[in-house]
Amino acid sequence: MRKLIISAVAGGIIIFASLYFAGLIAGSKKNGRSPSQKVVKTVFVDTVVNATVPIMVPANGNLKAKKRVELYSEVQGVFRSGSKLYRTGQKYAVGQTLIKIDASEYYASVQSAKSNLYNLLTSIMPDLRLDYPEIYPKWQQYLNGFDLEKTTPELPELDSEKEKFFITGREIITTYYNVKNLEQRLAKYTISAPFNGVLTEALVTEGTLVRSGQKLGEFINTGLYELEVSVSKTYGDFLKEGKEVSLTNLEKTQEFTGKVARVNGRVDQNSQTITAYIEVSGSNLKEGQYLEANLDAKEETDAIEIDRSLLLENNQIFVVKDSILDLMDVKPVFFTDKTVVLKNVPDGEMIVSKPIVGAYSGMLVKIFDESKS
C-alpha cells in the first residue's frame, strides 16, 4: 500500500514538472514572422497634353507592274528563234523582237499582191501622160518610189473628180487597200517589245507550232509598279491623288515612298471599303512583292495617342489622383494594331502609361520618380 502511494505521488510530480517545463519552453519561443505590411505599387504615368494627331491608316497588298502586256498570237506558224532565247526573266529593250513566227509563205502572197499593184500603176501611166498630163508627174514620182521590198507608200492625194474616177475605175484604190491589209497582217508575225521590260511568263519555246489566239506569255515594265489597297470608306474622302504614302516591306528592312495614283469611286458593298492605287518605283522592287502602306488619311485635333493595352472595357483608362487610381471615360476615335487615338481627356491629367497587374479603382499607388532612378 505504501509503495502504491509513493508511486502515485512520484507520477504526479513528474506530470506537473513536465507541464511546467513545457510551458517555459513554449513561452521562450519568439515569433519569427514579421507583421504584414501593406504593398503600394509603383506606377508609370504621363501628363496629358492634347495635340493634333495624324491618322495613319495601315494597308497592305502585292505589287503589280503598271505597264504589262499579255502576249497573244493573231496568226499561225512555227515560232522561230531570235537574237535572244524566249525564256522567263529575259530582258528586252523597247522595239526589240520578242517573238518571230515563220511568215515565209504569207510573205510570198504579200509580195504577189504588191507586184499586182505595181503592174496596175504601170499600166495607167501612158493614159495619164496623154489624157491627164497635169497629174502625170506626181504619179510617176510615186511609181519611182515604189519598192517591193519596203512597205507600200501611201497613194498620192486625189485632187479632182476626174482623177478620182480614173484611178478608182482602174481598181487601183481597191488593190492598194488589199495590199495594206496583207501588210498589216504580215506585221503580226513579229511581236516587238512595246517598252523596256522583262518576260515574266513564257508559254512557248522555239520550234513550237503557234496557233491563232494562243497565249504566248506576259511582258512587264520593271521600273514602275502599283500597289492596290483597300481602305475603310470613313477615310475615303481624305484620299487624294498625288498624296505621298510611306511604304515598307514585310521585314521592315526597306522603305519606299509612293503616291496615290487614283482612287476608285465605288464602295465595295461587302467590305464597305474603297480601293486606292499607290504608284511606287524602285530598282529593288519585284512583281508580286508584299508591301505595307501607311496612308495619311486625316488629322485629329485635341487628341492623344496611347498604347492600345491601356484602354479598358467600356472605353475607360486609369488615371492617378492624389496617389489613388481612378477610372476615366474616354472617346476612342481610331485604332491601329498597337495604339489608339483618344479624345475627351483633359490636359494635365496623369494617365497610367504602362499596364498594372491587378489594378482597380481606388487602389493606392506610388508614382515612379525618374529623378531617383
Q: What is the pLDDT of residues 114-146, one digit of tens each?
A: 999 999 999 999 988 888 889 899 999 999 999
Nearest by Cα to 248 from 298, 203, 282: 282
Locate the DSSP E strands across 252-369: 255-267, 273-280, 290-307, 316-321, 324-329, 331-335, 339-343, 350-352, 365-367
In a domain, 13, yes or no: no
* Total tally of structural domains belonging to the chain: 4
In a domain, 22, yes or no: no
Q: Pick the residue with more confidence: 235 or 219?
A: 219
Do both 314 and 359 map to the same domain? yes
pLDDT of 365: 86
Cα 270 to chain centroid distance, Å, stands at: 21
Do both 83 and 151 map to the same domain? no
Residues 133-162: what's their mean pLDDT? Answer: 90
CA distances from 80 to 98, 187, 215 (A): 11, 15, 16
Q: Which residues contact 132 (CB under 8 A, 6 or more apart)?
A: 162, 163, 166
Do both 128 and 150 map to the same domain? yes
Q: Pick the residue with more confidence: 360 or 17?
A: 360
Do both 193 and 322 map to the same domain? no
Do both 246 and 227 map to the same domain? yes
Range of the domain at 47: 43-53+301-372
CA distances from 48 to 23, 51, 348 (A): 64, 9, 5
pLDDT of 42: 85
Assigned C-alpha cell, 174: 481597191
Rounded to 5 degrees, φ, ψ at 69 are -135, 125
Do both 241 and 295 map to the same domain? yes
In a domain, 38, yes or no: no
23-60 confidence digits (pLDDT tens):
656 555 545 455 545 677 888 888 899 998 888 778 88
Mean pLDDT, the chain, whole residue set: 85
Note the maximum CA span of the chain. Answer: 184
Do both 270 and 308 map to the same domain? no
Do both 94 and 130 map to the same domain? no
Helices marked H in 156-263 — which ranges? Answer: 161-169, 172-187
- Structural domain ending residue among the three candidates 143, 168, 187: 187
Contact 120, 109 (CB under 8 A): no
**Residues β-bridged to residue 219:** 69, 199
DSSP run (H or E) holding 229: strand 225-232
- Structural domain ending residue among the three candidates 266, 284, 299: 299
pLDDT of 77: 93
Is the confidence at residue 9, as pLDDT, over 80?
A: no
Query: What is the DSSP code (8-state) at residue 145?
Result: T
Query: Strands 365-367 and 41-43, how do they pair?
Result: parallel
Do both 123 and 196 map to the same domain? no
Do both 212 and 337 map to the same domain? no
- Structural domain ending residue among the three candidates 143, 170, 187: 187
Assigned C-alpha cell, 125: 501611166
In a domain, 289, yes or no: yes
Please state which of the ranges 63-72, 157-166, 233-242, 271-280 shows the lowest mean pLDDT: 233-242
Is the confidence at residue 201, as pLDDT, over 60?
A: yes
Do both 193 and 98 map to the same domain? yes
Amino acid at 291: L
Assigned C-alpha cell, 71: 502576249
Centre a 10 Å sphere on the Cβ of residue 225 and count the other Cβ atoms it contains: 26
